[in-house]
Amino acid sequence: MWVFGSARGFRVIILAGGLALLGPAANLVAATLNAPPSIDPGGSSAEPFGLTTSKLSEGGLRDKWLGVERELDDELLVLALCQEDRRRCQSLPARQFLVIVDNAIARQGRARLGEINRAINLAIRPMSDLVQYGSIDVWSSPLATFAKGAGDCEDYAIAKLVALRLAGLAAEDLRLVILRDTIGQEDHAVVAARLEGRWLTLDNRRMAMVEDQRLRNYRPTFVIDHDGVRQYSPAPLIMVDRRSGRDSAWAPSAAMPAEIGFSGN
């Protein structure tokens, strides 16, 4: 679980028995000891893209996410200690990450989301897992990514997800969404944040945030939130007809794959 009102309070939670990553009940480390209130969503759009989902109880994607959660337990403690005394903080990645959260907290509404999207996009160099690790599809926690200064789409998304939570957004208003890029034929990860009833996507491929319903040539396949990993039901893909400029729908003929693999940034 995350969001704790003070570093000292979070340390007590950790020592008492650990935490579950995106849980809504805990209080989170904010960049100041008196954190601002969470952004009020002001609406009730249940899921990004308005599609139904089913929970995954097993599989490689779920295993990867559970591994990230375990790493985050340790990293949130580091962030809590650095939050408590910045001058004695020995972790440069933690200090860099908290500065981004500080700057976001100083803003409101959409500007807060945009600050985190922009800052994390600029803080991390795009680099594929194959180049960086010699392996495909390695998921890294935020401080590990900041220590390397490089990562691919899911590393950006995980860092943004944690930063948004620390900046005061409610767990219920955050999702990590896996999309299928139907032009590049690769999987891609973004964060979706609900603001005033609408889901905005935070993407390492662009500085501007795009509403979910305006994304084109992507098919949502999986979503991760405080309740675990879920798979989207197959749904029409909205594409742009380059000749007419109009939207057209394409329905996949086969069920979506149970696993994913990231090959690009």
**CB 85, CB 257: distance < 8 Å:** no
Q: Which tens digits make up the pLDDT trace of 164-203?
A: 999 999 999 999 999 999 999 999 999 999 999 999 999 9
Q: What percent of the chain has pLDDT over 90?
A: 65
Phi, psi dihedral angles at 88 (to 5 degrees):
-100, 0
Read off the pLDDT band of 67 (50, 70, 90): very high
- In angstroms, the CA 224 to CA 63 distance is 12
- In angstroms, the CA 26 to CA 122 distance is 30
Phi, psi dihedral angles at 98 (to 5 degrees):
-70, -30
Q: Which tens digits make up the pLDDT trace of 144-168?
A: 999 999 999 999 999 999 999 999 9
In this prediction, residues 52-70 reach a mean pLDDT of: 93
Q: State which of 44-53, 82-91, 227-236 shows the largest mean pLDDT.
A: 82-91
Helix (H/G/I), strand (E/B), else coil: 174: strand
Q: Which domains does the chain have, with CATH numbers?
A: 7-250 (3.10.620.30)
In this prediction, residues 3-14 reach a mean pLDDT of: 40
Q: Which residues contact 218 (CB under 8 A, 6 or more apart)?
A: 179, 180, 181, 182, 188, 237
pTM of the full structure: 0.79
DSSP assignment, residue 242?
T
Q: What is the average pLDDT score of the chain?
A: 80
